[in-house]
Amino acid sequence: MSAVRDIAVFVGSLRKESLNRKLAKALEELAPSSLKLDIVEIGQLPLYNQDFDEDPSPVYVEFRARVRAADGVLFVTPEYNRSVPGALKNALDVASRPYGQSAWNGKPGAVISASPSAIGGFGANHHLRQSLVFLNVPAMQQPEAYIGGADKLFDASGKLASDGTRKFLQQFIEAFTNWVAINTKS
| CATH code of 97's domain | 3.40.50.360
Position 2 pLDDT exceeds 70: no
Residue, of 89 and 185, whose pLDDT is higher: 89
Binning pLDDT at 50, 70 and 90, where does residue 87 land?
A: very high
**How far is 40 from 92, CA to CA, in rounded Å?**
12
Note the pLDDT of residue 186.
58
| 60-69 exposure pattern, b = at least 16 Cβ within 10 A, e = fewer | beebbebbee
Distant-in-sequence, close-in-space partners of 144: CB < 8 Å, separation ≥ 6 = 125
- H/E run at residue 110: strand 109-114
Q: What is the pLDDT of residues 108-161, one digit of tens each?
A: 999 999 999 988 899 999 999 999 999 999 999 999 999 999 999 999 999 999
Portion of the chain with pLDDT greater than 70, in percent = 98
Q: In what order do the strands lie in the sheet with 5-11?
A: 35-39, 5-11, 72-77, 109-114, 146-147
Note the pLDDT of residue 31.
97
Note the pLDDT of residue 1.
43
Q: What is the mean pLDDT of residues 37-49?
A: 97
Mean pLDDT computed over every residue of the chain = 95
| Residue of 91, 104, 106 lying closest to 180 (CA atoms) | 106
Note the pLDDT of residue 3.
79
Q: What is the mean pLDDT of residues 23-43?
A: 97
Number of compact structural domains in the chain = 1
pTM of this structure: 0.96
Note the pLDDT of residue 143.
96
| 104-134 exposure pattern, b = at least 16 Cβ within 10 A, e = fewer | beebbbbbbbbbeeeebbbbbbbbbbebbee
Q: What is the pLDDT of residues 55-81, one digit of tens each?
A: 999 999 999 999 999 999 999 999 999
Position 185 pLDDT exceeds 80: no
**How far is 52 from 80, CA to CA, in rounded Å?**
27
**How far is 1 from 21, CA to CA, in rounded Å?**
30
What is the end-to-end Cα distance of the chain in Å, rounded? 14
- Per the structure, the complete domain to which residue 166 belongs is given by 5-183
**3 state SS of 184:** coil
